[in-house]
Amino acid sequence: MTLRNLRVFVTVCQHMNMSRAARILFLSPPAVSQIIRELENYFGTPLFLRQGHQLYLTHAGTTLYHAALPLLKGADQLEESMRREAAKPTVNLGSTMPVSATFLPPMAAGYLRDYGEVFLHTYASISKTLETMLLNGSLDFAIIAGSLNTEQFEIIPFLDDEQVFIAHKDHPLLKGYDGDCPTIQPDPTAEIDIFVRDKESNTYAQICTSLQNAGIAYKVCGVISNIDGIILSVAYSLGIGSVSKYVKIQNPDVRRFHIDGVNVTRKFNLVYLKDRILPPAYERLKDYILSFPVKDGAESYE
């Protein structure tokens, strides 16, 4: 049984005339009759009753007709989707949340403006989820921080990131410090209240270790899963936070700063499945990402 045979059968059912169905399908009447016989032999039951020149569907024929309609419709939709995909493929690009909230939008917009040869679908999540999506084929590329299995993935270094601290402009920590992002030396006897985004992340562990090594007392006053929530909490003087240096702070009440001796860095990589042959459009997207001039949060994109 083939889709072609089912299409011939459905056409005969819709016209109840093999000669008319043959003309519509650009086949000969004997070819249509042969296909119907093949289907009847395949299912082991008659699909039509023939009385003179008139055709009638049997019960089995009626069952097959109603089952074949959605199957053929689905096949037509699949064919149309694949034709659109061939004309303009969809590329699925994943990234961690900090990337999606900083430079991914201008990067994607720039690529689509300059090339526009693919549909670009972006997806933001934690690194572990992105890794799973790469393995099951849900993503073509991902921008991920952290270690990955080099036997499974092509891993291309993309960007060095650094965490900066943020606080309300009138926070005692910033008293006496000027400039866009000063390096401060906090009172080691004063405990710092700090917001974090994810207690399970490597970044959180690095921040805690760096503060401890610098002899700075701290207390986690909140876990907020998104960057905007951390910035807003800081703007209301509920504590300090940390964000990627690429995050643009648009709230005038929030200032960026470094803490002397506290350095939290990470590396972002562009990742895709190892040994995958990339079509030309995918190669251009890869090259565009790797050459994109990511700007510090104090700068603006055009």
Crossing angle of helices 3-15/59-87, nearest 10°?
120
Residue 297 lies in a domain: no
Residues 247 and 129 in one domain: no
The set of residues, in sequence order, having a beta carbon less than 8 Å from that of 244 and lying 6+ positions away, is: 98, 102, 161, 162, 163, 164, 297
What CATH code is carried by the domain that includes residue 144?
3.40.190.10
What pLDDT was estimated at residue 85?
Answer: 59
Point out the domain boundary residue: 36, 56, 87. Answer: 87
Please tell me the distance from the alpha carbon of residue 293 to that of residue 215, in angstroms, as a whole number: 36
Assess contact for 220 and 196: CB atoms under 8 A: yes
Point out the domain boundary residue: 41, 64, 87. Answer: 87
Residue 300 lies in a domain: no
Residues 74 and 107 in one domain: no
Residues 271 and 152 in one domain: yes
Residues 255 and 239 in one domain: yes
Residue with tokens 């064919």: 79
What pLDDT was estimated at residue 42?
Answer: 93
Predicted confidence pLDDT, tens digits, the chain (302 residues): 788 999 999 999 999 998 999 999 888 999 999 999 999 999 999 999 988 778 899 999 999 999 999 999 998 888 877 776 566 788 999 998 889 988 999 999 999 988 877 889 999 988 889 999 999 999 999 999 877 887 899 999 999 999 999 999 999 999 999 988 999 988 877 889 999 887 777 788 888 899 988 888 999 999 988 889 999 999 999 999 999 999 989 899 999 999 999 998 889 999 999 888 888 888 999 999 999 999 887 777 76
Residues 111 and 73 in one domain: no
What is the domain extent for residue 15?
3-87
Residues 271 and 140 in one domain: yes
Please report, for residues 88, 94, 261, 293, the alpha-carbon distance to residue 240 in angstroms, rounded to integers and kept in the order given: 46, 29, 17, 29
Instruction: Say if pTM beats, i.e. exceeds, 0.75.
Output: no
Please tell me the distance from the alpha carbon of residue 111 to that of residue 169, in angstroms, as a whole number: 36
Point out the domain boundary residue: 55, 87, 119. Answer: 87
Assess contact for 7 and 64: CB atoms under 8 A: no
Residue 95 lies in a domain: yes
Six-digit token string for 287? 């090259």
What pLDDT was estimated at residue 292?
Answer: 93
What CATH code is carried by the domain that includes residue 72?
1.10.10.10
Please tell me the distance from the alpha carbon of residue 181 to that of residue 211, in angstroms, as a whole number: 18
Residue with tokens 């991920």: 144
Residue 240 lies in a domain: yes
What pLDDT was estimated at residue 302?
Answer: 62
What pLDDT was estimated at residue 258?
Answer: 94
Residue 275 lies in a domain: yes
Residues 154 and 275 in one domain: yes
Instruction: Quote the DSSP letter at residue 174.
Output: G
Residue 178 lies in a domain: yes
The helix/strand/coil state of 141 is: strand
Residues 45 and 126 in one domain: no
Residues 274 and 152 in one domain: yes
Residues 65 and 197 in one domain: no
Residue 73 lies in a domain: yes
What pLDDT was estimated at residue 241?
Answer: 93
What pLDDT was estimated at residue 193?
Answer: 92
Task: Count structural domains, the chain.
Answer: 3
Residues 136 and 220 in one domain: no
